[in-house]
Chains A and B, each alone.
Chain A
Amino acid sequence: MRFGDHGGRYVPEPLIPACEAVAEAFADAWADPGFRAELDTLLRQHAGRPTTLTPAANLSADLGLRVTLKREDLAHTGSHKINNVLGQALLARRMGKPRIIAETGAGQHGVATATAAALLGLDATVFMGQKDVERQSLNVFRMRLLGAEVVPVHAGSRTLKDATSEAMRHWVAHTEDTYYCVGSVIGPHPYPTMVREFQSVIGIEARGQGGIPDYVVACVGGGSNAAGTFSAFLDTDATLIGVEADGGAALTKGAPGVLHGFRGYILQDAHGQVVEAHSISAGLDYPGTGPEHGHWRDSGRARYVSVTDDEVLAATTHLARTEGILPALESAHAIAWVMRAARTGELPRGASVLITLSGRGDKDVPTLMGAHQ
């Protein structure tokens, strides 16, 4: 249940049986070759896995590095979120739950949830902060097209943090028929472990395709694409770098705290209240980070850094123009840090760098249009 000092299950008593049921069902399913085979099939036939590993020749020449991109942007629905959601939706069905709920920030997890629900014949309700409903309107429409109900959340900062709180509130009242499909390596036990396992396909594939690089770099919101990537390289000499948004840098600027069922690094004010994150990318606008990242930070196994919105915008355009790939603003955080570190010499010339490109940028085009005016 714990990763060092982090993790745990800080949920109210009414949610304990539901969390226990998920933990048992996951342990059982993950040990069941039939479940694994069904998930593998869905990942191949529906989600388009394995995603390719692209040698970024132009970017590499430009930066004096050997950069490869793990192309989660090419996974069905446009991001890594589908890996986790297919696993959890299968689990929900196995548990006999006809309905799944989810929180979403950028809308990628919501779209993935709506997609998996449509595929597996489940009802889906997605909670989304009102601010994100406005800035990610394309994804809101996509979710509704797929048959999901989208519930705008007006409380608090009206972003991912409040959508998560609202999903938990809803779950308390509907545990009997509803499965909560958490979108990142956050939440009460077993979610951080389970979501990492479902995302570990990213790292396992990348290692099989490209071997062990000198550096592994991924963006960190809640931390699922990073955890899924890192988990396959923990036993290697690769340096693991998680890149946060400057305005949501819980691992570099936050402190240990308890939010949404887990203990981890969280942005908080001088009185312990959780502070709102601010990032141009809705998917990184979360003031907490998964407990296992807290553990990797404390143990030194991974390093965490942050980049500014301006660096992210520059990196987005740069990748588009050098490689013909428009990254999600979230993913561009990883690119931005590699560009900076190549410039400062923190990344030595000739180093091999695996970057997880967690998603594609189509959803961010309106934001980019605004930023470029």
Chain B
Amino acid sequence: MIFTRDHKQLLPYVTGDITDDWTDIVAAYADAGADAVEVGLPFSDPTLDGPTIQEASFVALSRGATADAIISDVAGAPVPLVASTYYQLVAYAGPERFCARLSRSGFRGLIVPDLPLEESAHLEAVAADAGVDLVLLAAPVTPAARLAEIARRSRGFIYAVSLMGTTGERDTLAPGAAALARALSTRTDLPVLLGFGIATPEQAVDAARGADGIVVGAALMRRVLDGVQPAAVGAFVASLRRALDSGVAADGEVPRDRR
């Protein structure tokens, strides 16, 4: 198991190779109390990502980022790792080779947002053989029977997409998020993590009321793109950690100008 259910889980995201010192960001997340870290393998055409993660992907690719290098650069990280990428990069490497590489570098999970149930059977089997959990997504519009099927076939956890839209910060938690998390929780013993749009400690607390944990991505990558250093990005993750643990969004984030 990547996650437990004894406390609210925190899965912060980083686009692999977004900066020279990107592995320091992973380390900072670990220091800040992340339960695991989601490492994005940037793809040229991220159709489920909003402007921030599109830009993060573009920046990383412009720096010459490759999936292979990212996967090996982060081997031995002091925190469980979950890779996320679009299916093209998995298909290109070949699912067997891709999962073997992940497994060698200590990755425990894999998220492929554009691989729905209809297409995922092969990768589910290959990932399982490699000891990598293939995490499936569920959405607010997913019908009940399909939620049950996702709950049955997902491994590691279930990624509940909180809203109908792309990744990116939102002002408030989407209204359907809690209902989706609840609908999933009644169908599975796997942890249910809510993601998409969660950008503040307040929203983290809100989201975690109905779910086992949260995924935070664009709010972090926006800071990195703005030039915020790994330690300060880590401090923001620590504020999310405290909010999740206490159930109140007590203290704010480190001001953006303190770099």
- Using a CB–CB cutoff of 8 Å, the interface residues on chain A facing chain B are 1, 8-14, 16-18, 155-156, 161-162, 165, 168-169, 172-173, 175-176, 256-261, 263, 266, 268, 271-274
Contact = CB atoms under 8 A, between A and B. Distances in A.
B114 A261 contact: yes
B181 interface: no
28 contacts: A10-B87, A12-B47, A12-B114, A12-B116, A12-B161, A13-B137, A13-B138, A14-B165, A16-B118, A16-B142, A16-B146, A17-B141, A162-B45, A165-B45, A165-B47, A169-B165, A172-B48, A172-B164, A172-B166, A257-B92, A258-B87, A258-B91, A260-B45, A261-B114, A266-B88, A271-B89, A272-B89, A273-B89
Interface in B157-191: 161, 164-166
A168 B47 contact: yes
Contacts of A259: 45, 88
A155 B138 CA distance: 27
Contact of A9 (B119, B139, B161): B119
Interface of B: 43-50, 54, 58, 61, 66-68, 86-89, 91-93, 113-119, 136-143, 146, 150, 161, 164-166
Given A12-B48, A271-B89, A272-B89, 5 more contacts: A16-B116, A18-B141, A173-B164, A272-B91, A274-B45
B173 to A, nearest CB: 16
Contacts of A9: 116, 118-119
Contacts of A155: 54, 58
A58 B138 CA distance: 60
A1 B139 CA distance: 22
Residue from B45, B140, B141, B166 whose CB has the most chain A CB atoms within 10 Å? B45
Given A165-B45, A172-B165, A173-B166, A12 B139 contact: yes
A266 B86 CA distance: 15
B81 to A, nearest CB: 20
Contacts of B140: 14
A258 B141 contact: no
A272 B67 contact: yes
Given A12-B48, A165-B45, A274 B88 contact: yes
A173 B88 CA distance: 23
B166 A10 contact: no
A17 B141 CA distance: 7
A13 B48 CA distance: 10
A256 B119 CA distance: 16
Contacts of A272: 67, 88-89, 91-93
Given A14-B161, A14-B164, A8 B118 contact: yes
A273 B54 contact: no
A17 B161 CA distance: 14
Given A17-B142, A172-B166, A173-B165, A257 B88 contact: yes
B139 A14 contact: yes
A161 B88 CA distance: 15
A161 B67 contact: no
A168 B93 CA distance: 25
A1 B88 contact: no
B49 to A, nearest CB: 8
Nearest to B161: A14
A205 B172 CA distance: 55
A10 B43 CA distance: 15
B61 A273 contact: yes
Contacts of B43: 273
